[in-house]
Structure 1
Amino acid sequence: ILCDNVRSLLDEGKALTCVDSSLSEYPEDEVIPVIKLGLICTSQVPSNRPSMSEVVHILELIRSPMESRETP
Structure 2
Amino acid sequence: MQPFHAAAPDAAHDPTLILLTVEEAARRLRVGRTTCFTLIRTGALESLTIGTLRRVPADAPAAYLASLRAEQRAA
TM-score by length of 1: 0.32
Higher relative contact order at CA 8 Å, sep ≥6: structure 1 or structure 2? 2
Which has the larger share of helix? 1
Larger C-alpha radius of gyration, 1 or 2?
2
Which has the larger share of strand? 2
TM-score by length of 2: 0.31
